[in-house]
Amino acid sequence: MLLGALLAGCGPDAEALSRSCQAAMDAKTYPEAVTACRAAQKAAPDPGTRQRLMRALFQAGDHDAALAEATALSTGPHAGGAWRIIGRVHERGGRAEEARQAFEKALAAHVAEGAPREAAYDAHALAGSYWRAGEYRKALVALQRTLSEAEKAGDARMKGYALLGIGTLLNTVGDPDGADRAFTLAAADLGALSAVERANLTIERGIVQLKSGRPESARALFMEALAMATEAKSVRYRRVALENLGRYAQIAGHIDEAQQHTAAAAALIDQDPDEHDTAFIRCLEGQIARHQGRWADARAALEAATAAHPVPEMTWLIDLERGRVARAEGQLGLAEAAFDASIAGIEAMRSAIGIEELKRAFIGAKSAPFEALFTLQAESGRPRDAAATLDRALARNFLDAFLIPPTEVSLPAGTLPAQPIVGPADAWNAAVTRADEMKTLISSVTASGVAMQRPLADTLAALGDRVVLAWYTAEGRAWWVRYGAGDVALHRVAASPDDIASAVDTLLANVDDPVAAGRLAEALELTAVLPPAATTRVYFAPTGPLVRVPFGVLPESGGQPLAARREVLNVPGPAALAAMLRAPKVQYGPPVVVGDARGDLPGAAAEARSVATQLGVTPRLGAEAVSATLRAAGHPRVLHVATHAGNGPTGPWLAMADTQVGTGSLLEMHIDAELVVLAGCASVAGQSWEIWGSLAATSLAGGARNVLATLRSVDDGVARRFVQAFYAAGGDRQPARAFAAAQRSMASGPPSSWAHFVLLGTGDPAP
């Protein structure tokens, strides 16, 4: 009766209608608010009342009417709120790009209005939209803006939400340590959390535990979150807790339990629709059905996952699962097509490279479709197809290694992300900087040809009678693939990858132990794949734990180490070697020798002087060893560098007198020397994840034909003696021959005096 009386009046009654509109909004009784706000707007048109009507319509689910009101307000004093509603409407309608454009306009309008709290909410909405699209780099930037605006507004709670988002992002991209720290900071800013917020935070911490290899701790946290969400009557977080319980159980091999939790999560989808969660649940259902041998159910679930518009980060996984199901059913053609589609999805993501690609977890997971395709082809008796797939995988392995810094990039404990990026968190700033450099880095590596994929026939033709032994672990099985003499051959190794890794660790603990070397050679079944003794040169393309192995110490038949009779070289893969062999001819300039750039390595200075004398040039030492010297080197016949090197959050670096030169800068310099020598430091393996993202590999990618480097740091005196022996044997003219001669000249001493030197490249001078 009161509302009816008010509707009949005007003047003071219009003010009462406005108060009724506001009261209904405050009470969140949105259908009543729509009626009251419409009446108030009719009685006394006002932009503020119209804005409340717009919000009430949106919350009541009348999105078309809300959009009409918002459009009318989008150029007035309430433009910021209007554009946010427009973004929400587009988001609900699945129009992601239009939603993001609207959120950007809302953010700009609220900044112009001097409303940082509202701007923080706009930036947070923008971050969520980018995250759902798999554009993590842009999501990070939006979260940083959220934090910045929240700090201006003094809104500790929104700061907490921003940190929670950063933690979720770090968790998503495989940085559990950084995520855990961010969540701790988020909890401090969120203060007294509601049950729903506690459930959300607990789920995220459970995911951290799951990714950190602590599944039982993860399960306990997911169960705790489920109880919190149930108490809070939150359908969304009940579902998310159940999803993650299903994922835990599937990973742990408890398939029946996984099915139970996933079914419970699926039952809640209709109550709170979400395409991302729908895709995740359907994909999980498909994985479970595959494990249980229910092929038809698996196919149906995966089709449903695809229909839910999954983000790119899930699409490739759905295709991979589709291929696994088809393979299990014996439909090998369909399986191969699905694996190829999965690989294509990964390649598409690389073309839009972002901060997610910094993480080992992502790169490792994305090897799965290559492994599945290789296994299918190898076990189907198609060695050439399998070898072609492996060559593609090795090319990508080489490229990926440049994307991953040698140290994990995390948010340091006790630091808050600050404006405009995340300083003073130096490691995180480095990650952001590296993400910005990714496309340039990939372009430089790819342009060199060393990471280029090429037809197998072209590779074999370029190799001629050279033999490349590529090591590959695919789906828990270890293989050698031998390329050369116009053909390929596959050899499956009986030992498990875990046993191989253990044998590698034993050898590296004491490289002077001939028993350990013999055991590793036996586990690798090396004699079964080595070419006849008449083939004096062997190229190895190592992956996994073998990237750390000094192959020259491994014995072949007769007990002598490989280095005693053969020239042993490393290459990223057969196609990479083919690219180097067919590189355009270069007119080389005089040698360039730099050393002891920081003035604290007298041994390196002595080495540089000695080498410069042998090569007939003047060395650049100390303050003269600047980055400009490298940049001006151009096409030297020999580039010899004896100075500090190391690893940082942005990757490997070389210390010059004026700066640290990283991989990106080295690639941009295009120092396509005939020979690069980096023999005074651990210039190959870094922290032993992959040798192919190293300074030495950077030199290959930059155009160098040969690179002499070390697998680990060596004593200055040892390095100087080896280098002198190398040059004395003609290393600047015949690198492979001189490398082998230097190893043999030091064979009277323990293997550790020569084994850690490695030669990458063709081994020959340019034709």
* Residue 109 scores a pLDDT above 90: yes
DSSP secondary structure code for residue 561 in this structure: B
Contact 239, 268 (CB under 8 A): yes
Q: Cα(372)–Cα(390) distance, rounded to whole angstroms?
A: 11
Q: Cα(266)–Cα(277) distance, rounded to whole angstroms?
A: 9
pLDDT of residue 404: 55
Contact 279, 301 (CB under 8 A): no
pLDDT of residue 412: 35
> Residues near 415 by Cβ (< 8 Å), separated by ≥ 6?
424, 425
DSSP secondary structure code for residue 589 in this structure: B
Q: Cα(593)–Cα(380) distance, rounded to whole angstroms?
A: 52
For range 377-382, the mean pLDDT: 96
Name the token pair of 480: 């050698």
Name the token pair of 758: 């490695």
Question: Where residue 692 falls among pLDDT bands split at 50, 70, 90?
Answer: low
Place of tokens 């009409």: 68
Indicate the pTM of the whole model: 0.76
Name the token pair of 426: 């130096």
Question: Where residue 637 falls among pLDDT bands split at 50, 70, 90?
Answer: very high
Q: What is the four-CA torsion angle of 84, 85, 91, 92, rounded to 10 degrees?
A: 160
Place of tokens 């319980």: 245
Order of strands across the sheet that contains 651-655? 645-648, 651-655, 660-662
Range with lowest mean pLDDT among 34-38, 215-219, 243-247, 436-440 = 436-440
Q: Which of 623, 640, 617 is nearest to 720 (CA)?
A: 640
β-strand partners of 641: 594
What are the tens digits of pLDDT across the range 434-489?
Answer: 555 555 555 556 556 676 778 999 999 999 999 999 999 999 999 999 999 999 99
What are the tens digits of pLDDT across the range 259-274?
Answer: 999 999 999 988 888 7
Place of tokens 């295009």: 670
Name the token pair of 739: 């490398």
pLDDT of residue 448: 63
Q: Which of 439, 441, 435 is nearest to 138 (CA)?
A: 435
Q: Cα(433)–Cα(650) distance, rounded to whole angstroms?
A: 8
Number of other CB atoms surrounding residue 496 within 10 Å: 14
The gap from C-alpha 224 to its chain's centroid, in whole angstroms, comes to 31
Name the token pair of 240: 């998310």
Beta-strand relationship, 620-621 and 537-541: unpaired
For range 638-653, the mean pLDDT: 78
Question: Where residue 209 falls among pLDDT bands split at 50, 70, 90?
Answer: confident
Place of tokens 């419409």: 38
What are the tens digits of pLDDT across the range 312-365?
Answer: 778 999 999 999 999 999 999 999 999 999 998 887 776 654 444 444 444 455
Average pLDDT of the chain, as a whole number: 84
pLDDT of residue 124: 93
β-strand partners of 638: 675
Beta-strand relationship, 537-541 and 468-474: parallel
